[in-house]
């Protein structure tokens, strides 16, 4: 098949290599030594690093991130620099702020009790409820689209030596993951994933011609913090760990795919909620007709990326499989729905009517 020509998957070692977890007590010691703040650490479930909510009686709450030992320093510097850039360009956007340690270092390095060298970051905690534990109305989803558009504008002129890294979660590199198909359950699930790969291979030359810049690339419901009682609704955009220079259409497709309903039932059009996000987005940022036609294919491709990476990693790390596969089950119904549509129907999902 055309998509099987790639031989070097776009997979960083932190996705496949285990490390020794840092416990809450050790995290508290690290925070006190590096930042002179004392508080109680509570672990967050994460994909690859050790992340803690740090509650401090005198200073409020922070997020302490202790990077996987395989994460490259320049890529972590990219994330910190990006947050600072956004704060300067659009201080009203609800994104975290990065703090320096007592010596002024943005990325201090510690040696853990297990003997691993780990890079540490302390960022502000954004209060609210992750959207994956809440519901949203159409106007609230439009607000999500508005923030995504404003974030795009804030990042438009940002550059960094590590911004063009090859990232497994960037759907641009979907074809590099085809060797993981054997980890996807045989039958319909594998067939739907193969079909997504085939369709992506068909549109990839067009994607390569699309506009690109540094973008968040992971506007999923666990990375959006909300307050339903607030007129702003979206109170936080977190986790810039998958930020990368990629196609604008890729960034939008990820946001739209993550608004597809988890309960599919007998629904014939799963893009009703995503169109709300798009409506808000288009109030503040433009998309070309070509981008609008490619976005649904990229959403299907992102579902395939999730299926391939999560099925693979769940076998590598069975102790963390519940977290790794938390969105995968709903994704099978989404892939099945895309598989039921013709290429023309997919292409027209966002262009057949004014969003």
**pLDDT, tens digit (0-9, with 9 covering 90-100), for 239-297:** 999 999 999 999 999 999 999 998 888 888 999 999 999 999 999 999 999 999 999 99
- Cβ–Cβ contacts within 10 Å for residue 267, how many? 13
Give mean pLDDT, residues 186-200.
Answer: 98
The fraction of the chain above a pLDDT of 90, given in percent, is 84
Instruction: Give the pLDDT band of residue 187 (cuts 50, 70, 90).
Output: very high
Q: Tell me the per-residue pLDDT of 156-182, one tens digit each, with 9 for 90 and over.
A: 999 999 999 999 999 999 999 999 999
pLDDT at 320 over 60: yes
> In this structure, what DSSP letter does residue 303 have?
H
The CATH superfamily holding the domain 18-125 is: Phosphorylase Kinase; domain 1 (3.30.200.20)
Confidence at 216, pLDDT banded by 50, 70, 90: very high
Whether 110 contacts 121, CB under 8 Å: no
- Which whole number is the average pLDDT over 207-220? 98
Residue 306: pLDDT over 80: yes
Check residue 13 and give its pLDDT. Answer: 60
List the domain boundaries for the chain.
18-125, 130-347
Can you tell me which residue has the tokens 């993550």?
258
Quick one: pLDDT band at residue 4, thresholds 50, 70, 90? very low
The CATH code for residues 130-347 is 3.90.1200.10
Give me the pLDDT at residue 15, please.
Answer: 63
For the four alpha carbons of 85, 89, 91 and 94, in that order, the dihedral sign comes to negative
Element (DSSP H or E) covering residue 43: strand 40-44
pTM summary value: 0.92
pLDDT of 6: 41
* pLDDT of res. 284: 98
pLDDT in tens, 115-130: 999 999 999 999 999 9
Q: Quote the pLDDT of residue 12.
A: 56
pLDDT in tens, 11-67: 556 566 778 999 999 999 999 999 999 999 999 988 788 999 999 888 899 999 999
Distance, CA of 253 to CA of 216 (rounded, Å): 12
Report the distance separating Cα 215 and Cα 251, nearest Å. 6
The mean per-residue pLDDT over the stretch 314-329 comes to 89
Same fold, 18-125 and 130-347: no
Percentage helix, strand, coil for the chain under 3-state DSSP, each rounded to 5? 45, 15, 40
- What confidence score (pLDDT) does residue 354 get? 46
What was the pLDDT predicted at 352? 66
């Amino acid at each position: 098949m055309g998509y099987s020509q790639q031989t070097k998957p776009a997979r960083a070692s932190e996705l496949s290599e285990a490390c020794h977890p840092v416990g809450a007590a050790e995290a508290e010691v690290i925070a006190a030594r590096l930042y002179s703040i004392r508080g109680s650490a509570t672990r967050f479930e994460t994909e690859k690093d050790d992340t803690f909510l740090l509650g401090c009686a005198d200073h409020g709450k922070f997020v302490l991130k202790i990077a996987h030992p395989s994460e490259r320093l320049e890529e972590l510097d990219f994330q910190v620099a990006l947050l600072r850039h956004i704060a300067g360009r659009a201080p009203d956007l609800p994104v975290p702020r990065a703090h320096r340690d007592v010596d002024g270092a943005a990325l201090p390095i510690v040696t853990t009790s297990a003997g691993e060298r780990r890079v540490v970051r302390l960022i502000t905690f954004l209060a609210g409820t992750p959207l994956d534990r809440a519901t949203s109305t159409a106007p609230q989803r439009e607000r999500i689209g508005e923030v995504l558009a404003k974030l795009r504008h804030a990042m438009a002129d940002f550059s960094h030596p590590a911004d063009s890294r090859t990232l497994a979660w960037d759907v641009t590199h979907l074809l590099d993951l085809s060797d993981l198909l054997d980890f996807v359950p045989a039958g319909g699930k594998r067939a739907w994933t193969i079909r997504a790969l085939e369709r992506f291979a068909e549109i990839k030359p067009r994607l390569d011609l699309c506009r690109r810049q540094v973008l968040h690339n992971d506007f999923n419901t666990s990375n959006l913090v909300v307050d339903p009682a607030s007129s702003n609704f979206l109170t936080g955009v977190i986790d810039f760990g998958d930020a990368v220079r990629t196609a604008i259409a890729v960034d939008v497709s990820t946001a739209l795919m993550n608004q597809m309903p988890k309960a599919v039932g007998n629904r014939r059009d799963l893009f009703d909620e995503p169109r709300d996000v798009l409506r808000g987005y288009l109030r503040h940022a433009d998309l070309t007709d070509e981008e609008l036609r490619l976005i649904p294919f990229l959403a299907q491709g992102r579902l395939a990326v999730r299926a391939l990476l999560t099925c693979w990693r769940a076998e590598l790390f069975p102790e963390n499989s519940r977290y790794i596969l938390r969105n995968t089950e709903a994704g099978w119904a989404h892939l099945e729905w895309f598989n039921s549509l013709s290429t023309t129907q997919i292409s027209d999902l966002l262009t057949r009517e004014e969003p």
